[in-house]
Structure 1
Amino acid sequence: MAFATRMAQALRQHWRHYLVEAGGIMAFLAVSSTAAVVFHHPASAVARALGPHEWVQRTGVGLVVGGLIVAMAYSPWGRRSGAHFNPAVTLGFWQLGHIRTPDAVWYVLAQFAGALGAGLGMYWLLAPWFGHHLIHYNTTRPIEAPHGWALALGAEMLISAGLMLGLLWALHSARRKKWAGALAGLLLALFVSVESPLSGMSLNPARTLGAAVAAGQWQGLWLYFLGPLAAMWATAEAYRRHRRAGAGAERPPMYPDPAA
């Protein structure tokens, strides 16, 4: 069967899954952008109440973002698609054979489309506050320091590998599988609080591109593609090889579910 035919067939069968993926990244950018304004802008009562300590404000953003990920992962919509919301996560699961190639392509297209739409929408909705230097349109950028790009790239690869490894560790266990969504939310909250001063905490090429296009800010964009994609692909491949001997180990479900 020609690949174009397989793509068309997948679209007819699983278009709802792709809408979930687009909607998920849209929700993520909308909530994270709003949280950035609420917790960082000097005119915000919440930011003033938390005081001048940026790590406290980052923790607030992290809790909101992490809570959103948990809610989406356990929602009926997130369960439908597998709640990737991230091209790098989709690449990792594709490498493991947990998602078919046509579905993976549609997932990634939907994720980028959703991110671009949300990025532009939030740019206009939050325009009076979004440009403040503490928020900077919710873009992700390397720190302004010698070799800041290298530090940001290394940090992105580290947290991306950590997220993928955590997901695989949870999803490949019948006992831990139910906690996979909570673990993902916890890790994102931790990364926002601790790692974001180094790279802005992206993990997600679509999320970074959506904000960058809206703001017209392209600094270091390549590293937010290379870091997460390479790290999650490599982590998935290493995990696959490690688990190859345990042929009887339980595999996570395939998304989209062929029976759906």
Structure 2
Amino acid sequence: MAHAFVVAVMISAGFRISGGHLNPAVTIGLCAGGHITVIRSLFYWIDQLLASVAACALLSYLTGGLTTPVHTLAAGMDSLKGVIMEIVLTFSLLFTVYATLVDPKKGFLEGLGPLLTGLVVGANIMAGGPFSGASMNPARSFGPALVAGDWTDHWVYWVEPLIGGGLAGLIYENFFIVKTHVPLARDEEAY
């Protein structure tokens, strides 16, 4: 539950600054949907990765050398299953981001996007954590791996956002966001 609430709060806190981008998977999903440029996406990715490394290094220092656990696949979970699991989890996360934060016709969900996104992260962690670690966030996996020097299965946590995040962005943008052309209002001439 801590993950769910901290994600909700951090999205809310950063929403007016960066759109609440905490996660390279979200950034690539929004880039795939045309809501952020490739160049800005690259800068966001760099910032997200540096923030993860800094947080993990600081945590290691403050705790006398303890490291943040590294995402790895559970026993019996091969790489293909891990990638598929992370694609599904990341897709559901990005679908929620699009439905509650990006879609201009949010309806009654207006203002609930950060909380609902956080709750999906929490639910995905409970469902997928025992199998793939439920990263859904390459930055969340990168910082601990770098600080611990443990790159076991790390590639899985980079392949999945490219597929899951990008796929969700493309699908939601092209099939669920209704784009209509509204003619500009014109002054009518009085006769």
Instruction: Tell me, yes or no, whether TM beats 0.5.
Output: yes
Alignment equivalent of 1:207, drawn from 131, 137, 140: 140
Match of 2:74 in 1: 143
Alignment equivalent of 1:91, drawn from 21, 25, 28: 28
Contact 1:123 1:215 in 2 (8 A): no
Q: Extract unaligned runs of 5+ from structure 2.
A: 182-191
Match of 2:56 in 1: 119
Cα distance in structure 1, aligned partners of 2:69 and 2:64: 12
Query: Once the 2 structures are TM-superposed, how far is the Cα of residue 242 of structure 1 from its aligned partner?
Result: 1.1
Q: Counterpart of 2:112 in 1: which secondary structure?
A: helix
The structure richer in helix per residue is: 1
Contact 1:156 1:224 in 2 (8 A): yes
After superposition, what is the alpha-carbon deviation per residue over 1:118-150, rounded to whole angstroms, capped at 9, x for unaligned? 12222232246x36xxxxx321100122x5322
Q: Extract unaligned runs of 5+ from structure 1.
A: 1-62, 132-136, 250-260
Match of 1:73 in 2: 11
Query: Once the 2 structures are TM-superposed, how far is the Cα of residue 72 of structure 1 from its aligned partner?
Result: 1.6
After superposition, what is the alpha-carbon deviation per residue over 1:68-105, rounded to whole angstroms, capped at 9, x for unaligned? 11112222x33321111111110111111111232212
Alignment equivalent of 2:47, drawn from 106, 110, 113: 110
Cα distance in structure 2, aligned partners of 1:87 and 1:174: 23
Alignment equivalent of 2:113, drawn from 161, 167, 180: 180
Aligned-residue RMSD, C-alpha:
1.9
- Greater displacement, 188-197 / 214-223: 188-197
Contact 1:151 1:198 in 2 (8 A): no
Greater relative contact order (Cα < 8 A, sep 6+):
2
After superposition, what is the alpha-carbon deviation per residue over 1:6-53, rounded to whole angstroms, capped at 9, x for unaligned? xxxxxxxxxxxxxxxxxxxxxxxxxxxxxxxxxxxxxxxxxxxxxxxx
Match of 2:189 in 1: none
Q: Counterpart of 1:138 in 2: which secondary structure?
A: coil
Match of 2:95 in 1: 165
Query: Once the 2 structures are TM-superposed, how far is the Cα of residue 163 of structure 1 from its aligned partner?
Result: 0.5
After superposition, what is the alpha-carbon deviation per residue over 1:239-259, rounded to whole angstroms, capped at 9, x for unaligned? 222147x3239xxxxxxxxxx
Contact 2:74 2:131 in 1 (8 A): yes
Q: What TM-score comes out, normalization by structure 2 length? A: 0.85
Would the alpha carbon gap of residues 82 and 195 (structure 1) be closer, same or farther in structure 2, given more than 3 Å must change? Answer: same
Match of 2:186 in 1: none
Matching residue's letter, 2:152 = Q
1:198 and 2:131 equivalent? Answer: yes
The runs of at least 4 consecutive aligned structure 1 residues that moved more than 4 Å come to none
Match of 1:235 in 2: 168
Contact 1:73 1:79 in 2 (8 A): no
Q: What TM-score comes out, normalization by structure 1 length? A: 0.64
Alignment equivalent of 1:217, drawn from 150, 153, 156: 150
Identity %: 24
Query: Once the 2 structures are TM-superposed, how far is the Cα of residue 166 of structure 1 from its aligned partner?
Result: 1.2
Match of 1:247 in 2: 179
Match of 1:58 in 2: none
